[in-house]
Every structure is written in C-alpha cells, then in structure tokens.
Amino acid sequence: MTLLRPTFLFPPKQPIASPTPPHEMTLDRAPVGQTLQLKRFNTSEAVTRRLVELGLTPHVSLRLVQDSGGPLILAVRGSRIALGRDMARQVIVRTVSHE
C-alpha cells in the first residue's frame, strides 16, 4: 500500500533563493574587460568606508583590468586600484550593456 502525503502538509520544495540576483555577481567573478556598475557592498561599515575612500561608491562605473589569481586590478574614476580577493567577494556589481 502506498501512502499519499497531503500537499498542504508537505508543499513542494522551493529552490533556495540566491543571495545575489542572477544579473548581479561578486566582483571576484566579473569578466575581465567588461564595464561594470557597482551595486552594493556586503561588508562591515569600516570596510565600506575604505572602499569609498578608494573611489568605489554605489552606481560608479568600473572595469576589471586584470585577474591573474592575486589581487584584482580595477579601473575606476580614471585610476587603477588593486583590490584583494576577499574584499572583492564583498562587492556586488552588474554588467553594463552598451546598446
């Protein structure tokens, strides 16, 4: 005999929501050479202040220049800055399409 499980007691499992929307990514996963827009930080207030001092503010346009396994090299506001991978994992960006 097969027992049926009532769906109101055991609803179908829903996929777990991603903490980052599909069109956004962490900076360490961004493609080299692509123009990006900074969306937000997932970090402490102290680290956020440091990122802002480097010119990384929400909605700023930036480009990942180099990713060779160490710190990432970014072009932002006419300057190039190096950003460690741990910090880059806390910066959320999205790609910018040029239409």
Superfamily of domain 27-95: Ferrous iron transport protein A (FeoA) (2.30.30.90)
Band of residue 23 on the pLDDT scale cut at 50, 70, 90: confident
Residue range 29-76, pLDDT digits in tens: 999 999 999 999 999 999 999 999 999 999 999 999 999 989 999 999
Which residues neighbour 19 within 8 Å (Cβ) at sequence distance 6 or greater? 42
Check residue 4 and give its pLDDT.
54
Number of neighbours of residue 83 by Cβ within 10 angstroms = 21
Check residue 76 and give its pLDDT.
97
Q: How far is CA 53 from CA 11, 34, 46, 63, in A?
A: 48, 23, 11, 17
pLDDT at 78 over 70: yes
Predicted model pTM? 0.74
